């Protein structure tokens, strides 16, 4: 039996302009907006590391260098904190091992598919993960760890999915689900088709792609000649759809909670939900929230 190649690399497309969060994102990458006291990107990187992934590939762009700074060692800050007797534990997850963070630039915003293709030389000939940091996935184990576990069982290509109210479907990539695989508690479904941002009356289901993928390296060759799709952009979903039939594709239904932090309402929801759960501030936040709601 040949062993499956482990998933060691994750591509994080972080070149987006973040126009939905202007003016907050004029000078600050949207990926650094905090949910309580951790930037969005940190949640996604921690989730990848929990899944055993140690090579973080940022597909970045102009004005986004602060993301890389976030994962560097900040000598002045650390020295000052040490002098003042403060613990550095709060910075632990931000101190990358040298060489573990790699960046490539997406010079023009041609779409998610194009962003992923920009990382082709670094991904090489290995299966790899993709994580969209806008989607905040909260679970134990985390979403990517659940996907890696499924990958170890079935291999091939995996997409995380979740069900949303049908009227939300036109904002996402949507799967056409096939048979449910036996033995995974209903969590693994065959994918028969994929469509990016379908009109409501053409949606094959209400199961949307929720921003986590494990893909075989062949997707890079498919992206190479991918034509523009929804929104005039080169879509990852379209490239994956073309691979169905030549490669196994399965959907993993994430057991956990998901917040769409690409929208303002989702961002506020995530902030409130995670603040309420915090040991240090949860009780205070609850009191304040209840007071505000009483009006
Ligand atoms: C992207 C993907 C889409 C997916 C979504 C998840 O869309 O293209 O398939 O459902 O992320 O958030 P975007 O949000 O970049 O328009």
Specify the DSSP element, H or E, that contains 215.
strand 207-215
Is 141's pLDDT higher than 60? yes
Helix (H, G, I), strand (E, B) or coil at 228: strand
- pLDDT at position 254 is 93
Q: Using alpha carbons, select from 259, 266, 251 the residue that is nearest to residue 174.
A: 251
Atom 7, ligand 1: residue with shortest CA distance: 172
Residue 172 Cα to ligand 1 midpoint, Å, equals: 5
Atom 15, ligand 1: residue with shortest CA distance: 112
Largest CA distance in the chain: 64
DSSP letters, 128-152, are EEEE-TTEEEE-SS-HHHHHHHHHH
Specify the DSSP element, H or E, that contains 212.
strand 207-215
Is 282's pLDDT higher than 50? yes
For residue range 160-190, list pLDDT tens digits in order: 999 999 999 999 999 999 999 887 777 999 9
Q: Name, in order, each residue with C-beta under 8 angstroms of 89's C-beta and a sequence gap of 6 or more.
A: none
- pLDDT at position 295 is 76
The pLDDT mean for the chain works out to 94
Please tell me if the CB atom of residue 11 comes closer than 6 angstroms to any atom of ligand 1.
no
Q: Locate tokens 């048979």: which residue?
A: 179
Please tell me if the CB atom of residue 208 comes closer than 6 angstroms to any atom of ligand 1.
yes
Q: Please report whether residue 94 resides in a domain.
A: yes
Q: Please report whether residue 271 resides in a domain.
A: no
Atom 9, ligand 1: residue with shortest CA distance: 173
Task: Note down the domain range covering 21.
Answer: 9-262
Q: Please report whether residue 294 resides in a domain.
A: no
Model confidence at 98, pLDDT cuts 50, 70, 90, reads confident
Q: Please report whether residue 108 resides in a domain.
A: yes
Residue 173 Cα to ligand 1 midpoint, Å, equals: 6
Please tell me if the CB atom of residue 160 comes closer than 6 angstroms to any atom of ligand 1.
no
For residue range 182-210, list pLDDT tens digits in order: 877 779 999 999 999 999 999 999 999 99
Q: Using alpha carbons, select from 264, 254, 30, 269 the residue that is nearest to residue 164.
A: 254
**Calpha distance 123→132 (Å, rounded):** 16
Atom 8, ligand 1: residue with shortest CA distance: 173
Name the residue with higher pLDDT: 286 or 1: 286
**Calpha distance 2→242 (Å, rounded):** 26
Model confidence at 1, pLDDT cuts 50, 70, 90, reads very low
Please tell me if the CB atom of residue 211 comes closer than 6 angstroms to any atom of ligand 1.
yes
Atom 5, ligand 1: residue with shortest CA distance: 172
In total, how many domains does the chain have?
1
Atom of ligand 1 nearest to the CA of 173: 9
Please tell me if the CB atom of residue 196 comes closer than 6 angstroms to any atom of ligand 1.
yes
- pLDDT at position 286 is 97
Residue 210 Cα to ligand 1 midpoint, Å, equals: 7
Atom of ligand 1 nearest to the CA of 171: 16
Is 114's pLDDT higher than 60? yes
Tell me the CATH number at 141: 3.90.550.10
Contact in structure between 230 and 170 (CB atoms under 8 Å): no
Residue 214 Cα to ligand 1 midpoint, Å, equals: 15
Q: Please report whether residue 292 resides in a domain.
A: no
Please tell me if the CB atom of residue 134 comes closer than 6 angstroms to any atom of ligand 1.
yes
Q: Please report whether residue 290 resides in a domain.
A: no
Contact in structure between 147 and 252 (CB atoms under 8 Å): yes
Is 96's pLDDT higher than 90? no
Q: Name, in order, each residue with C-beta under 8 angstroms of 290's C-beta and a sequence gap of 6 or more.
A: none
In 14-61 the beta strands, taken as DSSP E runs, fall at: 34-35, 38-39, 55-60
Q: Please report whether residue 287 resides in a domain.
A: no
Model confidence at 97, pLDDT cuts 50, 70, 90, reads confident
Of the listed ranges 1-5, 156-160, 269-273, the least confidently predicted one is: 1-5
Q: Please report whether residue 279 resides in a domain.
A: no
Please tell me if the CB atom of residue 132 comes closer than 6 angstroms to any atom of ligand 1.
yes
For residue range 263-272, list pLDDT tens digits in order: 999 999 999 9
Q: What backbone phi and psi angles, to 5 degrees, belong to 85?
A: 75, 20
- pLDDT at position 165 is 94
């Amino acid at each position: 039996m040949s062993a499956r190649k482990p998933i060691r690399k994750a591509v994080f497309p972080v070149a987006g302009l973040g126009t939905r969060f202007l003016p907050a994102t004029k000078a600050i990458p949207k990926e650094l907006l905090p949910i309580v006291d951790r930037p969005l990107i940190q949640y996604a990187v921690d989730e990848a590391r929990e899944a055993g992934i140690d090579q973080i590939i940022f597909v970045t762009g102009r004005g986004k260098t602060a993301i890389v700074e976030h994962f560097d060692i900040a000598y002045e800050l650390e020295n000052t904190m040490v002098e003042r007797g403060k613990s550095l534990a709060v910075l632990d997850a931000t101190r990358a091992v040298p060489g573990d963070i790699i960046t490539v630039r997406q010079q023009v915003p041609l779409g998610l598919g194009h962003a992923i293709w920009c990382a082709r030389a670094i991904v090489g000939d290995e299966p790899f993960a993709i994580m969209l940091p806008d989607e905040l996935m909260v679970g134990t184990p985390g979403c990517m760890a659940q996907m890696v576990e499924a990958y170890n069982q079935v291999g091939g290509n995996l997409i995380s999915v979740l069900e949303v109210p049908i009227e939300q479907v036109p904002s996402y990539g949507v799967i056409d689900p096939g048979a449910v695989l036996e033995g995974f508690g209903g969590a693994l479904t065959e994918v028969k088709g994929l469509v990016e941002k379908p009109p409501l009356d053409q949606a094959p289901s209400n199961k949307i792609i929720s921003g986590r993928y494990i893909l075989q390296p062949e997707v890079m060759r498919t992206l190479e000649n991918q034509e523009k799709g929804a929104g005039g952009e080169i879509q990852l979903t379209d490239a994956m759809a073309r691979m169905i039939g030549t490669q196994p594709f399965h959907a993993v239904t994430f057991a956990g909670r998901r917040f769409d932090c690409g929208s303002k309402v989702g961002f506020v929801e995530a902030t409130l939900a995670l603040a309420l759960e915090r040991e240090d501030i949860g009780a205070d936040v609850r009191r304040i929230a209840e007071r505000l709601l009483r009006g």
